[in-house]
Amino acid sequence: MLDTLKIKADFPIFKNHSDLIYLDNAATSQKPQSVIDRITKFYSSENANVHRGVYPLSEQASEAYDLARKKVADFINAKSAKEIIFTKGTTDSLNLAAASYGLDNLKPDDEVLMSDFEHHSNFLPWKNVCEKTGATLKILNSDDDGSINQKEWQSKLNKKTKIVAIAHASNVLGTINDIKEISAIVHEVGAVLVVDGAQAIPHLQINVQDLDCDFYAFSGHKMLAPMGIGVLYVKEEILSKMFPYQLGGGMIESVSLDEVVYAEYPEKFEAGTPNVAGAIALVSAIDYLSKIGLSEIRSHEIELSEYLLDGLAKIKKVKLLGSAAPSQRTGLVSFSVEGIHAHDLSDYLAKQGLALRAGFHCAQPLHQSRNCGATLRASYYLYNSEKDLEVLLNNLEKAISYYG
Ligand code: 7TS
């Protein structure tokens, strides 16, 4: 297992809140000092707008921003840095994909396919684009463990399907989907595959060429980087079929009253002043994760999942969501307790310093399809230990006897 005491020492939040047991990493991760320092350094000694000034500070900021794009491309093994569009986060990335690709490429009679476990950030933009274009939105129902069976794919995917938009990992079930297998069947019918990678990128080494997806969206803030920076990877052959949905400065070659010549991608899709500090600090987050090692982080989380799933199975009235196999999950477990509202439980746990999320986790259709109310979610990361989960299990038992 990872040396979590040593890792925790790199994250100032834990010095400032010594009793905090942070188990809400699926909402956002904490930030290491190196990331915080990088933001401070940018604003203290490097701040200038990019691609505008010809003075040294602006040129250096532009260089650092371009280098960040290259580093992100390498991190997810994109073929080229041109395939990396910086956004505000996953929500922004998915809205960009839906508006810039979906609106122009869908027609009435076309079909868009999604799963029942999508986060609202993936579900709503595609639902909206379907309503505007007359395309039909179809839902793939997942099994209890969060997987989608062959029969479901065969009955819903066909030649009319033009877009399949699916999470790499569900933020409620934690289930990791086999994107490589999905991309093969999606491409067989000539559709494009949009992957919501928000819950996968903090935990798995992503290789977009190997996955062979057409879009891959993620947020920096769930992988140690600041809030407000995210990425939309788009395969180069798709980029030419997209029209920017935000227009403004920084994305044109020339403008006259009669004619606009747009810049090349990816700048074409980044209207306005970008989050330069965020992009640069995302590189520091990637460096930090790479130093610890994504495969070591993954093994650590699997051990934590084993421990937590075992512990929860022993507590009466607890009902688990998702797969029983730790290796099928990212670092999270959602559950409900018969007869006790998740918000009551999370209130009780919060008083003991435990930070967990309770509710529908922006995935209401999933809770409806499972016919269950609000759930409690524990999501852990590289700085969490078995001890954190032991405290959770002990306090959960106390909470159940308190309310039960
Ligand atoms: N997609 C998935 C699968 C997510 O889990 C989230 C955020 C998003 C998209 C949106 O990401 P954002 O960075 O643009 O907000 N999920 C959660 C969560 O589970 N709790 O808080 C945010």
- The predicted pLDDT at position 368 comes to 84
pLDDT digit string, tens, across residues 160-188: 999 999 999 999 999 999 999 999 999 99
CA of residue 66 to ligand 1 center, whole Å? 26
- Kindly tell me if the per-residue pLDDT of 369 is higher than 90: no
Nearest CA to ligand 1 atom 5: 171
Q: Can you name the residues that pair with 260 across neighbouring β-strands?
A: 255
So where are the chain's domains?
4-30+293-403, 35-289
80-88 mean pLDDT: 98
Active site residues: 362
Residue 48 alpha carbon to ligand 1 centre in Å: 30
Residue with CA at minimum distance from ligand 1 atom 7: 27
- 369 — phi, psi (to 5°)? -65, -30
Strand order in the sheet with 375-379: 318-320, 332-337, 375-379, 357-359
Residue closest by Cα to atom 11 of ligand 1: 90
| Mean pLDDT to the nearest integer, 322-345 | 94
Shortest-distance Cα residue to atom 21 of ligand 1: 27
pLDDT attached to residue 373:
84
> In 3D, which of 199, 164, 201, 170 has the Cα closest to residue 184?
164
Q: How confident is the model at residue 404 (pLDDT cuts 50, 70, 90)?
A: confident
Residue 248 vs residue 363, higher pLDDT: 248
* Ligand 1 atom index nearest CA of 170: 3
Distance 198 CA to ligand 1 centre (A): 6
Q: Quick one: average pLDDT of 55-81?
A: 97
Average per-residue pLDDT in the chain?
96
- State the sign of the Cα–Cα–Cα–Cα dihedral 294, 334, 123, 184: positive
For ligand 1, atom 17: residue with the closest CA:
27
DSSP state of 101: I
Q: What is the pLDDT of residue 295?
A: 97
Yes or no: is domain 35-289 CATH 3.60.150.10? no
Is residue 89 within 6 Å of ligand 1 at its C-beta?
yes
Would you list the DSSP string of 33-84? HHHHHHHHHIIIII---SSS--SHHHHHHHHHHHHHHHHHHHHTT-S-GGGE
**CA-only gyration radius of the chain, Å:** 22
Q: How far apart are CA 145 and CA 151, in angstroms?
A: 16
Residue 372 reports pLDDT greater than 90: no
Give the integer Cα–Cα distance in Å for 217 and 198. 7
Cut 0.85: pTM above it? yes
Atom of ligand 1 nearest to the CA of 24: 20
Q: Which residue, among 202, 372, 368, has the nearest Cα to 290 in the 3D structure?
A: 202
Coil vs helix vs strand at 181: helix
Task: Give residue 312 CA to ligand 1 midpoint distance, Å.
Answer: 25
Angle at 280 between CA 274 and CA 283, to 5 degrees: 130
Q: What tokens does 352 get?
A: 């003991």
Site to substitute for ligand 1 among 25, 121, 377, 381, most atoms within 8 A of C-beta:
121
CA distance 336 to 353: 20
Q: Does domain 4-30+293-403 have CATH number 3.90.1150.10?
A: yes
The confidence score (pLDDT) of residue 22 equals: 98
Distance CA 252, CA 70 (A): 21
- Say how far apart CA 183 and CA 50 lie, in whole Å: 36
Query: Do β-strands 260-262 and 252-255 pair in parallel, antiparallel, or remain unpaired?
Result: antiparallel
pLDDT digits over 279-294, tens only? 999 999 999 999 999 9
Task: Determine the average pLDDT of the residues in 247-255.
Answer: 92
Residue of 238, 216, 239, 219 whose CA lies nearest to 229: 219
Question: Is the minimum distance from the CB of 167 to ligand 1 under 6 angstroms?
Answer: yes
